[in-house]
């Protein structure tokens, strides 16, 4: 049994390597892609937005697929679809869009199904495994973002993208080798059929929390380098600080699900998120021309956004009342959440153009971030019975 669990943990790591990889590697190569296919700025913007739109519109449908064929088969479909879409999307202008669309669909399948797969195979280790796959995803994404440009200079951007189809192939083979899992029906299923997940206030709050924390993260991803340059940091240094912003959340995304498994610690974590948002975004507003303080602000923001993302994914399993329900909650929460999040970079870009300065724009972001943590506190209070059930 121990060997099976170890093998499953390795498979979780392999799957997690693919959760952001095919999206992250596109952004640093966007100029080369545009030059190759003669794409306009608007077309390139659409290309980078496609995966987020997939997360928003398709997530809620994945639970139907899980219910019909099971988590293991759904994961296998997602991995092999990801491999094929990423490998073939580099050949023509049409394929770069169609392929990226299917990359978005495939990663949506993985995002929604992975929490359900963890509960199916190792429910008692869900906090550990959730932290493991979130941390792995963050680490691999940051590393890939760093090596993709040097690799593309060495072998060409097309071949560099295709190389990153290999992790999906390896994880797909590993998923095929997983033992078939017979799921015992929970005695709450009959009750759950009468009360759909979207009829519960706590699930709606979780979806809003997921969306707002993702909105803050993707807005920072889109505009943080520009903010740093505006504050007197050189573009090269801003790039390194941006990399640190993405990397610093790695260890925290691993430990947070384990620490937040109890009601009291979950509340404390949410309060610390509120403090982190106020300090991190607040320092970006007041600090100018000070490299070390701006670096500190970005590190605080990286820790806070990494923690909030890990917490939102872990709470999907906490707020699910049965194994069968995890896929439904995951699909609903991620669908609503990513639809909300996809508007962030655009809205705050418009705010920057409207106010013509970053301080007012960042103040608006700070208000959204603080509201996110407040929503989280209300959500935890409303869903406290789930924590009590988890710790019986």
- Closest C-alpha to 370, from 287, 296, 270: 270
Look at residue 187 and tell me whether its pLDDT is greater than 50. no
| Cα-based distances in Å from 345 to 8, 79, 192 | 37, 28, 37
Look at residue 106 and tell me whether its pLDDT is greater than 60. yes
**Cβ distance 127 to 255 under 8 Å?**
no
**Cβ distance 287 to 202 under 8 Å?**
no
pLDDT band at 363 (very low <50, low <70, confident <90, very high): very high
Q: Where are the alpha helices (DSSP H) in the chain?
A: 2-16, 21-24, 30-37, 41-69, 71-88, 93-122, 126-155, 157-163, 166-177, 189-194, 201-230, 235-247, 249-259, 263-286, 291-318, 326-341, 344-355, 358-382, 384-390
pLDDT band at 57 (very low <50, low <70, confident <90, very high): confident
What number is the average pLDDT over the span 86-115? 93
- Residue 362 confidence (pLDDT): 94
Look at residue 90 and tell me whether its pLDDT is greater than 60. yes
100 Cα distance to chain centroid: 17
- For the domain spanning 191-390, the CATH number is 1.20.1250.20
Phi-psi region of 289 (alpha: psi -120 to 50; beta: other; left: phi over 0): left
**Cβ distance 89 to 95 under 8 Å?**
yes
Residues 191-231 have pLDDT tens digits of 444 557 777 788 899 999 999 999 999 888 878 888 898 89
- Residue 82 confidence (pLDDT): 96
Percent of the chain residues topping a pLDDT of 90: 35
Q: CA–CA separation, 327 vs 354, rounded Å?
A: 41
CB atoms within 10 A of CB 335: 25
- Closest C-alpha to 216, from 371, 7, 25, 37: 371
**Which letter, b or e, does each residue of 310-324 get, where b requires 16 or more Cβ atoms within 10 Å of its Cβ?**
bbbbbbbbbbbbbbb
Q: CA–CA separation, 348 vs 366, rounded Å?
A: 12
Q: What is the DSSP letter of 179?
A: P
Give the residue extent of every domain in the chain: 2-179, 191-390
| Cα-based distances in Å from 193 to 68, 135, 198 | 16, 34, 12
2-179 and 191-390, same CATH topology: yes
Q: CA–CA separation, 91 vs 73, rounded Å?
A: 29
- Residue 192 confidence (pLDDT): 43
Computed on alpha carbons and rounded to an integer, the radius of gyration of the chain in Å comes to: 20
The answer to whether the predicted template modeling score (pTM) of the entire model surpasses 0.85 is no
Look at residue 133 and tell me whether its pLDDT is greater than 90. no
- Total number of residues shown for the chain: 392
Residue 371 — φ and ψ, nearest 5°? Answer: -65, -35
- The pLDDT mean for the chain works out to 85
- Residue 72 confidence (pLDDT): 92
Lowest-confidence region among 8-17, 82-91, 123-132, 343-352: 123-132
Domain 2-179 has CATH 1.20.1250.20: yes
Structure tokens at 160: 């560099």
DSSP helix/strand/coil, 185: coil
Q: CA–CA separation, 228 vs 246, rounded Å?
A: 15
- Residue 388 confidence (pLDDT): 56
Residues 225-266 have pLDDT tens digits of 888 988 988 887 887 888 788 888 878 877 777 777 777 888
Residue located via tokens 């490998």 = 87
């Amino acid at each position: 049994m121990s060997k099976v669990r170890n093998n499953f943990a390795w498979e979780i790591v392999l799957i997690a390597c693919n959760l952001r990889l095919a999206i992250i590697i596109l952004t640093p190569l966007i100029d080369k892609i545009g030059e190759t296919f003669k794409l306009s700025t608007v077309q390139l913007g659409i290309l980078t937005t496609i995966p987020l739109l997939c997360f928003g519109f398709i997530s809620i449908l994945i639970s139907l697929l899980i219910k019909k064929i099971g988590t293991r088969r759904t994961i296998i479909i997602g991995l092999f679809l990801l491999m094929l879409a990423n490998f073939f999307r580099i050949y023509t202008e049409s394929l770069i869009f169609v392929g990226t669309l299917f990359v978005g669909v495939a990663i949506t399948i993985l995002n929604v199904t992975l929490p359900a797969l963890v509960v199916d195979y190792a429910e008692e280790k869900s906090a550990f495994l959730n932290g493991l796959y979130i941390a792995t995803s963050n680490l691999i994404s940051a590393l890939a973002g760093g090596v993709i440009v040097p690799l593309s200079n060495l072998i060409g951007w097309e071949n560099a993208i295709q190389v990153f189809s290999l992790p999906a192939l390896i994880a797909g083979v590993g998923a095929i080798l997983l033992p078939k899992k017979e799921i015992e029906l929970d005695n709450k299923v009959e009750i759950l059929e009468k009360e759909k997940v979207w009829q519960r206030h706590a699930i709606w709050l979780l979806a809003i929390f997921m969306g707002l924390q993702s909105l803050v993260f993707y807005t920072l991803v889109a505009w943080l380098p520009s903010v740093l340059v505006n504050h007197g940091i050189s573009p090269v240094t801003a790039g390194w600080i941006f990399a640190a912003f993405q990397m610093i959340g790695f260890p925290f995304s691993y430990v947070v699900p384990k620490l937040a498994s109890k009601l009291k610690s979950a509340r404390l974590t949410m309060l610390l998120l509120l403090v982190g948002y106020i300090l991190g975004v607040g320092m970006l507003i007041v600090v100018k021309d000070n490299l070390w303080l701006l670096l500190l602000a970005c590190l605080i923001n990286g820790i806070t956004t990494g923690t909030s993302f890990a917490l939102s994914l872990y709470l999907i399993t906490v707020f699910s009342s049965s194994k069968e329900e995890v896929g439904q909650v995951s699909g609903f929460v991620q669908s609503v959440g990513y639809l909300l999040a996809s508007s962030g970079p655009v809205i705050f870009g418009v705010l920057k153009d409207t106010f013509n300065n970053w301080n007012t724009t960042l103040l608006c972001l700070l208000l959204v971030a603080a509201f996110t943590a407040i929503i989280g506190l209300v959500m935890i209070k409303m869903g406290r019975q789930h924590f009590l059930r988890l710790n019986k």
